[in-house]
């Protein structure tokens, strides 16, 4: 870093150097133009004289005269070489300047650094008065000129100017050094005092002497006053820093408590959805179990009547046929409702295990979506909303089914709660497709849609449009956190008021950061092929009482 003294020296040196450089550049430019003009006149003179004197000698093939003319024209040092060609473009005579300055007959090509100038040699018969005789071209002359003299003169002038600038700069620096020392010596003492004040404690720095009675003395007295005020300011700053440090610790603790509270709320939300799932499935199982129990009771009464008729010896064919018909109908009802109850229990057990476990396992995407929706059937039965599925049955995910079930559950229930009014008919469509190793899942509805100003906030925690009506604002935030953090995927939403909403999820077919599966997930993974094989049979047994939509 330059001091002010050095900067002043540099500034004055630059100004002087710049002025002298401009003046020298103009002088150099003028000298160059003058030398170029002189060189041009020399070239024109040499070529003109050669064009006049050479044609008669070349016409007479007088080589000695040609050589004499060439030597006479090469007296100026700027002429490096002259070559004379006859009309057959043959070299007739030539001269070149050697390294020692003597004229020699060149034996090689022209000098590479020369500037060639050409002129055609025309012979005119001065003694002929006939106008019918035309001028005859007898050859050409090529003269090579050198710029060495011009460059030497310019270089000499440039060196002289540079030496002049250097001497003036040295004299100026010496004069400035002597004159500025008077000002900058006390300023250096003041600088040292400032550095000491900045690097050491304010209590360890002594005040500067105030014995000067000039302008610098006023500066020193001001410095001492600033030092006294600085000591009191630093004391107040240290007290404020201690208070800020304590406040920061309290804020960090409050942030930790807030994060723990948020995690507890998220876990409570997940457990609450599982609790509603338990109540709904228990209510849903009542119907098939009740029908099965009633059918079994009817079958038992018919069997008792059959045994009584057989024991009394009054067994008739009509009694037998009636018993067979009752047994067949009761068996069919028991089997269908037992399959329905078994499917509900199986779906509930798998969803419940998945939602309480973070283990991963492979699962068929659309089959698992139907199981999730089956577990939500008690909620959907009270609405006029139909669910439709559209996706290939062979898409298999190696991922976290519990988190996936939470995502689908929250999205479906969000549509049920917000997209449709009570008793309003509607449709929720779930579409899945495989894009290489990425599964794209779309969940769309034809409900009310979302206002544009709310689209950017729907994934924020605790944001809900049903505050005070049971809405917690955590459903879609849980979905966002699970998709982005656990599945390392993306979720986007688009909506138009009055035309529905569409959520688009993009998940990796094989979830990253695999975690070893334990417990219930292992048994679920072991039964994976059997579950796929049993899927059509369960659907057939459920008949028209299957999945909603």
C-alpha dihedral, 163 to 165 to 170 to 173, nearest 10° = -170
CATH number of the domain that residue 117 is part of: 3.30.450
Residue 352 domain flag: no
Residue 525 lies in a domain: yes
Determine the Cα–Cα distance for residues 9 and 160; give it in Å rounded to an integer.
23
In a domain, 168, yes or no: no
> Domain range holding 493?
357-545
| CATH number assigned to the domain comprising residue 460 | 3.30.565.10
Q: Report pTM.
A: 0.39
Could you give the 3-state DSSP secondary structure of residue 396? strand
471-475 contacts at long range (C-beta below 8 A, 24 or more positions apart) = 471/417, 472/265, 472/269, 474/265, 474/266, 474/269, 475/269, 475/410, 475/413, 475/414
Is residue 225, in this structure, part of any structural domain at all? no
Does some domain include residue 422? yes
Q: Phi first, then psi: give them for residue 348, nearest 5 degrees.
A: -60, -45
Look at the chain and report how many structural domains it folds into.
2
Domain annotation covers residue 494:
yes
pLDDT digit string (tens) for the chain, length 549 residues = 567 777 887 888 888 888 888 988 888 889 889 988 988 898 899 889 988 888 888 888 888 898 899 888 888 888 888 888 888 777 888 888 887 878 888 877 776 666 788 888 887 765 555 545 578 888 888 888 888 888 888 899 889 889 988 898 888 888 888 877 767 777 777 777 777 776 766 556 677 777 767 777 777 778 778 877 877 887 888 889 988 998 899 888 888 888 787 677 666 666 665 565 565 556 567 777 888 888 888 888 888 888 888 888 777 888 888 888 888 888 888 887 787 677 667 656 555 555 555 678 898 988 888 888 887 777 777 788 888 888 888 889 888 888 888 889 889 988 888 888 888 899 999 999 998 889 999 999 999 888 888 888 888 877 777 655 555 667 788 888 889 888 889 999 999 888 899 999 999 989 886 444 333 333 333 333 333 333 443 343 333 333 333
């Amino acid at each position: 870093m330059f001091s002010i003294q050095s900067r002043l020296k540099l500034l004055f040196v630059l100004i002087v150097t710049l002025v002298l450089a401009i003046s020298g550049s103009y002088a150099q430019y003028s000298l160059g133009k003058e030398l170029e003009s002189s060189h041009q006149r020399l070239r024109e003179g040499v070529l003109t004289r050669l064009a006049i004197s050479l044609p008669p000698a070349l016409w007479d093939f007088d080589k000695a005269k040609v050589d004499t003319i060439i030597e006479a024209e090469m007296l100026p040092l700027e002429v490096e070489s002259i070559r004379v060609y006859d009309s057959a473009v043959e070299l007739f005579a030539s001269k070149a300047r050697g390294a020692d300055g003597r004229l020699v007959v060149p034996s090689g090509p022209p000098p590479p650094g020369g500037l060639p100038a050409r002129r055609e040699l025309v012979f005119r018969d001065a003694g002929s008065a006939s106008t019918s005789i035309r001028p005859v071209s007898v050859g050409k002359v090529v003269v090579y000129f050198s710029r060495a003299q011009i460059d030497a003169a310019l270089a000499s002038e440039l060196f002289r100017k540079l030496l002049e600038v250097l001497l003036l700069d040295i004299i100026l620096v010496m004069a400035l050094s002597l004159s500025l020392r008077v000002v900058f010596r006390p300023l250096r003492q003041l600088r040292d005092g400032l550095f000491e004040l900045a690097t050491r404690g304010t209590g360890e720095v002594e005040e500067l002497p105030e014995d000067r009675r000039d302008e610098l003395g006023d500066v020193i007295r001001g410095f001492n006053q600033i030092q006294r005020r600085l000591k009191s300011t630093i004391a107040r700053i240290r007290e404020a820093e201690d208070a800020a440090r304590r406040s920061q610790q309290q804020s960090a603790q409050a942030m930790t408590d807030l994060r723990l509270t948020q995690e507890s709320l998220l876990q409570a939300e997940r457990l609450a959805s599982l609790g509603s799932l338990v109540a709904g499935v228990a209510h849903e199982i009542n119907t098939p179990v009740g029908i099965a129990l009633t059918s079994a009771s009817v079958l038992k009464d018919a069997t008792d009547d059959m045994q009584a008729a057989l024991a009394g010896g009054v067994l008739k064919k009509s009694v037998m046929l009636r018993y067979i018909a009752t047994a067949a109908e009761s068996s069919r009802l028991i089997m269908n409702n037992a399959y329905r109850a078994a499917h509900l229990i199986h779906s509930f057990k798998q969803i419940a295990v998945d939602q309480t476990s973070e283990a991963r396992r492979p699962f068929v995407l659309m089959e698992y979506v139907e199981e999730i929706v089956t577990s939500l059937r008690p909620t959907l039965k009270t609405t006029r909303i139909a669910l439709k599925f559209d996706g290939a049955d062979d898409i298999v995910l190696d991922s976290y089914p519990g988190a996936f079930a939470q995502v689908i559950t929250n999205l479906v229930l969000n549509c049920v709660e917000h997209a449709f009014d009570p008793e309003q008919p509607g449709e929720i469509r779930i579409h899945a497709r495989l894009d290489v190793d990425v599964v794209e899942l779309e969940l769309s509805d034809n409900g009310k849609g979302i206002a544009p100003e709310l689209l950017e906030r729907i994934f924020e925690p605790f944001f809900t449009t049903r505050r005070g009506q049971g809405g917690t604002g955590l459903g879609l935030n849980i979905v966002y956190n699970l998709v982005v953090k656990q599945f390392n995927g993306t979720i986007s939403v688009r909506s138009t008021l009055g035309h529905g909403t569409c959520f688009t999820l993009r998940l990796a077919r094989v979830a990253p950061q695999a975690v070893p599966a334990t417990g219930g997930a292992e048994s679920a993974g072991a039964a994976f092929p059997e579950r796929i094989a049993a899927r059509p049979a369960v659907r057939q047994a459920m008949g028209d009482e299957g999945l909603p939509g």
